[in-house]
């Protein structure tokens, strides 16, 4: 199942990237997560690992995510494996058009692209879950926009 959406946030490029790339903070902005925490203390980058607990239709599902691509401040890829699903989240960042046109500093366009695959026989249900996935993604990105806008305004 694929979900891709672009949002514009008030936070500057570097700040938006730093916040999103630290997936240990994902529960702050994604209401579909019960828990998110970093599993290591090394500098954030390729190999950084996270424990995520998602609320999937009332059941807690645990995932282990690892950053597989880290290109500050433009792109981060994080891949997760859980008992029932795998996920590849690619997030790209670029200056927002509105900021570039006005010459002001700040404002970022964030594109979130998720490829979620159910494991085993559950894959048969994927075509029926597209609406559910879209609702989860929209709620998560609304939360991300709210957090990044609030951080930009102080």
**13-41 tens-digit pLDDT:** 999 999 999 999 999 999 999 999 999 99
What pTM was computed for the model? 0.89
Residue 142: which of 2, 9, 3 has the closest Cα? 9
**Mean local confidence (pLDDT), 87-115:** 81
CB 126 within 8 A of CB 14: no
130-153 vs 13-21: helix axis angle to the nearest 10? 130
* Torsional class of 46: left (φ above 0), alpha (ψ -120 to 50), beta (otherwise): beta
Positive or negative, the CA dihedral 88, 133, 36, 140 is positive
Measured CA to CA, the distance from residue 99 to residue 67 in angstroms comes to: 29
Q: How many structural domains does the chain have?
A: 1
What's the whole-number average pLDDT of the chain?
90
Cα atoms in the 13 Å half-sphere on the side-chain side of 110: 33
Which residue range(s) make up the domain with 74? Answer: 2-153
**Residues ≥6 apart with Cβ < 8 Å to 145:** 7, 9
CB 78 within 8 A of CB 20: no
Phi, psi of 94 (to 5 degrees): -150, 155
Model confidence band, residue 104 (pLDDT cutoffs 50, 70, 90): very low
CATH number of the domain where residue 100 is located: 3.30.530.20
pLDDT score recorded for residue 121? 63
């Amino acid at each position: 199942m694929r979900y891709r959406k672009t949002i514009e946030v008030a936070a500057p490029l570097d700040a938006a990237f730093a916040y999103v790339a630290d997936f240990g903070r994902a529960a702050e902005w994604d209401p579909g997560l019960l828990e998110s925490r970093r599993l290591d203390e090394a500098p954030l980058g390729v190999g950084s690992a996270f424990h995520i607990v998602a609320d999937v239709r009332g059941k807690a599902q645990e995932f282990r995510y690892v950053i597989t691509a880290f290109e500050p401040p433009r792109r981060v890829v994080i891949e997760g494996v859980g008992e029932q699903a795998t996920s590849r989240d690619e997030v790209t960042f670029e200056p927002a058009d509105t900021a570039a046109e006005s010459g002001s500093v700040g404002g970022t366009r964030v594109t979130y692209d998720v490829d979620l695959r159910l494991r085993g026989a559950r894959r048969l249900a994927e075509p029926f879950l597209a609406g559910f996935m879209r609702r989860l993604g929209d709620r998560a990105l609304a939360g991300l926009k709210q957090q990044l806008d609030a951080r930009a305004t102080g």
